[in-house]
C-alpha cells in the first residue's frame, strides 16, 4: 500500500495512519475498504475521497461499506430510524455519483463480524476519525484483531483536529491559537475527487441491503435495540432533510441569529442542525462557507470555535471525556469541597427520565428531550447543571447527565456532548430557588 504525493494537500492535512503500512503485517489485500460511519454523505466527504485516491494510486478496486450495528450505546428506534433514513439518502447519493456501496443492517438472522472479516481481506481500511466511544473502542478492537493498515480521516472539522497539537480548555485560547488556520480554510471550495476507480465485485460475508423501497419500521422491529424510545416525527434523518432545514434557516434565521439565539422560546432563532452535523449527513464545510458568505460571524463562532473546541477536547482527552477527570483542577477542587453538602433532593433515574421531579422548568426540558430529541442550548445548560444538586456525588451526577443526554438527544454522543456537559459542570451558578 502506497500513498504517493498525489494525495491533495487538503486531504493530506486531515489524514493519519492508525496502523501504517510499515507496521502492518498483512498479506497484500485485494481492495481498498472504506467504512463510512460518521460522515453519512457522498459529497464533500474527505474520507471517501481519500479512499478513492488510494484505490486509484494502488490500482485496486474500492469497496464502500456502511452498516448499522445493534450494540452502540443507547441504541433505540429513535436513533435507528434517524440513521436508516440517512443511510437511505447516502445510498441514493453514492449511486448518483457512480459509486457502488454495500449496506449491512444487523438484525435477526443477519449478524456477524463483517467489518473485521472485510478488513482482514483489504489492502487498507480508510475510515473517519471520530474521537468518541464506541468508535474509538471499536477501532482499538479492530487493530488488535486484524493486521491491515488503517487510515483515519477527519471529515468533521474545518481545521483538522490533528493540526491543533495541544488540548485547549477555553474558547478564547482556541480562537487565538487557530485564527490563522481558519482564515485560510473557511471560504475554500471543496474539491471532490473524480470517481475513476473500479469497484470490488467479489463475494461479501452478508447480503447487501437496498433501503430505497423497503419499510424501515419493519426492519427496525427485527433489531435487538430499545423499542421504547420512539423516532422523532418532525426531525427525519438524512442529507435531504438536513439541507432543507439548513436552507430554511439560512434564508430566514441566520441574519438574526446573534440577537435571537438566546431566546429559548423561539425555535427558529437557532439552526437545529446539530443532529445532522453529528451524523455527518450535511457537510460542515458547506455550512461554514455559506455562513461565511452571509457574514454570520456569531454563527461561525459557534460552529467553528465551540464545536471544534469540543472535537479538540475529545481528540486529546479521549480516555477521560466522560468523567470528572476531564474537568480542570480548579473545578474538581470545588466539586470535592462540596461533595458532602446536603442535596436539595434525591431523584432516581426513573423520576428524572420520566420528567417527574417537582421542578417545572427542568421537567419541561426533559420532556423536550424525550419527545423532540433536542433542547435549546440555553435551557440545556440549566438542565445539565441541575444534576449536581440531586445526585449523591458529582461523579454520579455526571453519569446521569451523560445518560439522559445520550439516550434521548438526537445529537447525543457527539464530541459537543462532552464539551457541553463539561461546560455545564464548570459554570456553576446554582440559584437556591431555580425553577420558578
Ligand atoms: C448539558 C449540555 C449538553 C450538550 N449536549 C450536546 C450534544 O449531545 N450534542 C451536541 O451537538 N451539542 C451538545 N451541546 C451543545 C449545544 O447545546 C448544541 O450543540 C446546540 O444547542 C445545538 O443546537 P443548534 O444546532 O440549534 O445550535 P446553533 O445555535 O444553531 O449552533 C450551530 C451549531 O454550532 C455548534 N454549537 C452551538 N452551540 C454549541 C456549544 N455550546 N458547544 C459546541 N457546539 C455548539 C453545533 O454544532 C450547532 O449545531 C450540549 C450543551 C450542554 C450545555
Q: Which of 302, 321, 340 is the C-terminal boundary of a domain?
A: 321
Which position has the grid cell 480562537? Answer: 175
d(CA 301, CA 318): 24
CATH number at residue 71: 3.40.50.620
Asked if pLDDT for residue 429 goes beyond 90, the answer is no
Strands (E), 25-112: 32-36, 62-68, 101-105
Indicate if ligand 1 lies below 6 Å from the C-beta of 415: no
Indicate if ligand 1 lies below 6 Å from the C-beta of 381: yes
Q: Which of 321, 339, 368 is the C-terminal boundary of a domain?
A: 321
Atom of ligand 1 nearest to the CA of 413: 8
Cell numbers given for 210: 437496498
Residues 112 and 259 in one domain: no
Mean pLDDT of the chain: 94
Nearest residue (CA) to ligand 1, atom 37: 302
Residues 110 and 150 in one domain: yes
Nearest residue (CA) to ligand 1, atom 32: 303
In a domain, 242, yes or no: yes
Q: Which domain holds residue 329?
A: 324-426
In a domain, 212, yes or no: no
Residues 315 and 168 in one domain: yes
Q: For the residues 19-35, what does the mean pLDDT come to?
A: 89
Q: Is omega for the bond preceding 353 within 30 degrees of 0, making it cis?
A: no
Dihedral sign (CA 13, 18, 23, 26) = negative
Give the pLDDT confidence score for residue 426 in this predicted structure.
85
| 180-183 LR contacts (CB < 8 Å, sep 24+) | 182/158, 182/304
| 253-261 LR contacts (CB < 8 Å, sep 24+) | 254/291, 254/294, 254/296, 254/299, 255/294, 255/296, 257/296, 257/298, 257/299, 258/297, 258/298, 258/299, 261/298, 261/302, 261/377
Indicate if ligand 1 lies below 6 Å from the C-beta of 403: no
In a domain, 311, yes or no: yes
Cell numbers given for 244: 432543507
Please, where are the H alpha helices in 188-296? 216-221, 239-252, 257-260, 274-278, 284-293
Residues 390 and 359 in one domain: yes
Residues 406 and 417 in one domain: yes
Atom of ligand 1 nearest to the CA of 405: 8
Residues 305 and 162 in one domain: yes
d(CA 346, CA 287): 43
Residues 285 and 371 in one domain: no
Residue 108: pLDDT band (50, 70, 90) is: very high
Residues 139 and 180 in one domain: no
Give the pLDDT confidence score for residue 432 in this predicted structure.
37
d(CA 79, CA 243): 19
Q: Which of 272, 303, 321 is the C-terminal boundary of a domain?
A: 321
Give the pLDDT confidence score for residue 24 in this predicted structure.
83
Residue 101 — φ and ψ, nearest 5°?
A: -145, 160
User: Best substitution site from 302, 362, 372 to test ligand 1's pocket, by max atoms within 8 Å of Cβ?
Assistant: 302
Ligand 1 geometric centre to CA of 41 (Å): 21
Q: For the residues 266-281, what does the mean pLDDT come to?
A: 97
In a domain, 434, yes or no: no
Give the pLDDT confidence score for residue 25 in this predicted structure.
76
Q: For the residues 346-350, what does the mean pLDDT come to?
A: 94
Indicate if ligand 1 lies below 6 Å from the C-beta of 272: yes
Atom of ligand 1 nearest to the CA of 271: 30
How many domains is the chain built from? 3
CATH number at residue 340: 1.10.579.10
Residues 126 and 246 in one domain: no
Asked if pLDDT for residue 434 goes beyond 60, the answer is no
Q: For the residues 87-95, what does the mean pLDDT come to?
A: 98
Residue 433: pLDDT band (50, 70, 90) is: very low
Residue 201: pLDDT band (50, 70, 90) is: very high
Residue 23: pLDDT band (50, 70, 90) is: confident
Helix (H) / strand (E) element for 46: namely helix 46-58
Residues 188 and 333 in one domain: no
Q: For the residues 375-392, what does the mean pLDDT come to?
A: 94
Indicate if ligand 1 lies below 6 Å from the C-beta of 84: no
Residues 168 and 312 in one domain: yes
Q: For the residues 346-371, what does the mean pLDDT come to?
A: 96
Nearest residue (CA) to ligand 1, atom 35: 303
Nearest residue (CA) to ligand 1, atom 33: 303
Q: For the residues 159-164, what does the mean pLDDT come to?
A: 96
Q: For the residues 135-140, what does the mean pLDDT come to?
A: 96
In a domain, 435, yes or no: no
Inter-residue contact 326 to 318 (CB < 8 Å): no
Q: For the residues 223-249, what does the mean pLDDT come to?
A: 97
Residue 27: pLDDT band (50, 70, 90) is: confident
Atom of ligand 1 nearest to the CA of 424: 53
In a domain, 148, yes or no: yes
Give the pLDDT confidence score for residue 173 in this predicted structure.
93
Residue 256: pLDDT band (50, 70, 90) is: very high
Indicate if ligand 1 lies below 6 Å from the C-beta of 273: yes
d(CA 363, CA 369): 10
Q: Worst-scoring range by mean pLDDT, 39-48, 399-408, 419-428?
A: 419-428
Ligand 1 geometric centre to CA of 380 (Å): 9
Q: For the residues 210-229, what does the mean pLDDT come to?
A: 97
SS3 181: helix
Indicate if ligand 1 lies below 6 Å from the C-beta of 156: no
Indicate if ligand 1 lies below 6 Å from the C-beta of 164: no
Residues 251 and 314 in one domain: yes
CATH number at residue 300: 1.25.40.80
Inter-residue contact 62 to 32 (CB < 8 Å): yes
In a domain, 209, yes or no: no
Give the pLDDT confidence score for residue 4 in this predicted structure.
60
Indicate if ligand 1 lies below 6 Å from the C-beta of 185: no
pTM: 0.96
Amino acid at each position: 500500500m502506497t500513498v504517493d504525493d498525489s494525495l491533495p494537500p487538503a486531504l493530506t492535512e486531515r489524514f493519519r495512519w492508525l496502523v501504517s503500512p510499515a507496521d502492518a503485517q498483512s498479506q497484500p489485500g485485494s481492495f481498498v475498504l472504506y467504512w463510512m460511519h460518521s460522515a453519512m454523505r457522498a459529497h464533500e466527504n474527505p474520507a471517501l475521497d481519500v479512499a478513492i485516491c488510494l484505490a486509484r494510486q494502488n490500482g485496486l478496486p474500492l469497496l464502500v461499506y456502511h452498516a448499522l450495528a445493534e450494540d452502540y450505546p443507547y441504541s433505540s428506534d429513535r436513533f435507528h430510524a434517524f440513521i436508516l433514513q440517512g443511510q437511505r439518502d447516502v445510498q441514493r447519493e453514492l449511486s448518483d455519483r457512480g459509486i457502488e456501496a454495500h449496506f449491512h443492517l444487523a438484525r435477526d438472522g443477519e449478524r456477524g463480524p463483517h467489518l473485521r472479516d472485510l478488513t482482514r481481506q483489504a489492502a487498507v481500511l480508510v475510515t473517519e476519525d471520530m474521537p468518541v466511544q464506541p468508535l474509538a473502542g471499536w477501532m482499538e478492537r479492530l487493530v488488535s484483531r486484524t493486521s491491515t493498515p488503517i487510515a483515519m480521516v477527519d471529515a468533521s472539522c474545518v481545521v483538522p483536529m490533528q493540526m491543533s497539537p495541544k488540548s485547549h480548555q477555553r474558547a478564547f485560547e482556541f480562537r487565538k491559537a487557530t485564527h490563522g488556520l481558519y482564515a485560510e480554510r473557511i471560504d475554500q471550495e471543496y474539491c471532490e475527487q473524480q470517481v475513476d476507480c473500479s469497484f470490488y465485485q467479489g463475494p461479501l460475508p452478508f447480503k447487501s441491503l437496498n433501503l430505497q423501497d423497503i419499510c424501515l419500521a419493519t426492519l427496525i422491529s427485527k433489531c435487538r435495540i430499545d423499542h421504547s424510545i420512539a423516532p422523532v416525527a418532525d426531525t427525519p434523518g438524512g442529507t435531504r432533510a438536513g439541507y432543507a432545514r439548513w436552507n430554511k434557516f439560512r434564508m430566514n434565521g441566520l441574519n438574526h441569529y446573534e440577537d435571537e439565539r438566546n431566546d429559548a422560546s423561539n425555535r427558529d432563532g437557532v439552526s437545529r442542525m446539530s443532529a445532522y452535523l453529528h451524523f455527518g449527513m450535511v457537510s460542515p464545510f458547506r455550512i461554514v462557507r455559506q455562513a461565511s458568505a452571509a457574514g454570520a460571524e456569531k454563527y461561525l463562532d459557534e460552529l467553528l470555535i465551540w464545536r471544534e473546541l469540543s472535537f479538540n477536547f475529545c481528540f486529546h482527552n479521549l480516555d477521560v471525556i466522560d468523567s470528572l477527570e476531564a474537568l480542570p483542577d480548579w473545578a474538581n477542587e470545588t466539586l470535592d469541597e462540596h461533595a458532602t453538602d446536603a442535596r436539595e433532593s434525591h431523584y432516581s433515574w426513573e423520576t428524572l427520565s420520566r420528567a417527574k421531579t417537582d421542578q417545572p422548568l427542568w421537567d419541561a426540558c426533559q420532556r423536550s428531550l424525550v419527545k423532540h430529541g433536542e433542547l435549546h442550548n440555553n435551557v440545556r445548560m440549566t438542565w445539565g447543571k441541575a444534576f449536581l444538586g440531586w445526585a449523591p456525588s458529582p461523579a454520579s451526577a455526571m453519569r446521569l447527565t451523560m445518560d439522559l443526554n445520550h439516550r434521548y438527544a438526537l445529537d447525543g454522543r457527539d464530541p459537543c456532548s462532552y464539551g457541553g456537559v463539561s461546560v455545564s459542570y464548570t459554570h456553576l451558578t446554582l440559584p437556591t430557588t431555580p425553577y420558578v
